[in-house]
Chain A
């Protein structure tokens, strides 16, 4: 779900960078208000490492192959730290593995990062109810893991469909993009289940990690 160089027009890329700049600034302001930055940065850093290597694991789902993203998981666990963490992870993926591109770094950060923040807000809803907490946590962790990925996939598809190069066969490319959305649906389930597993594990082993 990383848009490579050359797919988007310069104006879209610049807009992406501008939005990313704004969101990063906003997130850093929120982080600055955090009372326990020193405890949260190691957590963010470790999850950035996981995000960075997760993209190297390919799962072939025809017609394309997908790779795990875990942006919903990062949002649920990290809160506002997730956006800068994803931005840093994307930068390293683009530079080291040409996964994504430098010109599209801003756009990719918006595609993957803003759903992470949305997942954070969704996951925070588990504090609404006192009772039945384990069940609610399970539902919300699945929803944040799968929902963030679906949101990213939707943004990715909309951006691509509206930016198909006129030299291409637009209908064929549009069909290919819609078919790939099916693959992302499967990926959303995989990531949702993984998020549930990891969060229920953390809840039993180290519940303080979840109170961001």
Chain B
């Protein structure tokens, strides 16, 4: 299965030219916060060209935005912070039967530019942890094997 790393980061966006007059130019800008997700497989390889579907909190059944990740598994979108869209945004990433779904909390005061690393399923184990878990599991099976293969004489003791 895949694991997605979600990096919530503040991006300075858009210089919006509002009106172009004869000789003058007027540049307005505003800061918004965008959400940048990075989708990776378990082993760390990025999910390139995976499909991304985003659902806003106001309507969880119709997709708010669809897109695909780039070659390094990145996808960026700007959630609208209307009152009805404050809450958890669901992001679904799929590729040939692999993928995941996660919720990203979006608040009105989206200025907290802290990089939040959300693991979609809370399984962000290090490889050492994984190795110990695998070893524990394997030992359980070996223990079962040893239990059932004990000789009949030792059973009588």
Contacts and interface: CB of A to CB of B under 8 A. Distances in A.
Contacts of A52: 134, 137-138, 141
A56 interface: yes
Contact of B145 (A45, A168, A177): A45
Interface string B119-135: 00101000000100110
A168 B96 CA distance: 11
B98 interface: yes
Contacts of A156: 97
Interface in B84-102: 92, 94-101
Interface string A88-113: 00001000111111000000000000
B112 interface: no
Interface stretch (B6-14, B27-35, B37-45): B37-45
Contacts of B154: none
A173 B41 contact: no
B49 interface: yes
B104 interface: no
Given A63-B95, A64-B41, A169 B51 contact: yes
Interface in A1-49: 1-4, 6-7, 38-39, 41-43, 45-46, 48-49
A53 interface: yes
A100 B1 contact: yes
A167 interface: yes
Interface residues of A, number: 43
Contact of A180 (B62, B96, B141): B96
A58 interface: yes
A185 B62 CA distance: 36
A70 to B, nearest CB: 14
Contacts of A173: 51, 94-96
Contacts of B145: 41-43, 45-46, 49
A38 B145 CA distance: 9
Given A41-B148, A96-B137, A2 B96 contact: no
Given A6-B101, A49-B137, A49-B141, 20 more contacts: A4-B2, A4-B98, A41-B144, A42-B145, A45-B142, A46-B145, A60-B43, A64-B96, A65-B43, A97-B123, A99-B42, A100-B1, A160-B96, A165-B92, A165-B94, A167-B63, A173-B51, A173-B94, A176-B96, A180-B96
Interface of A: 1-4, 6-7, 38-39, 41-43, 45-46, 48-49, 52-53, 56, 58, 60, 63-65, 92, 96-101, 156-157, 160, 165, 167-169, 172-173, 176-177, 179-180
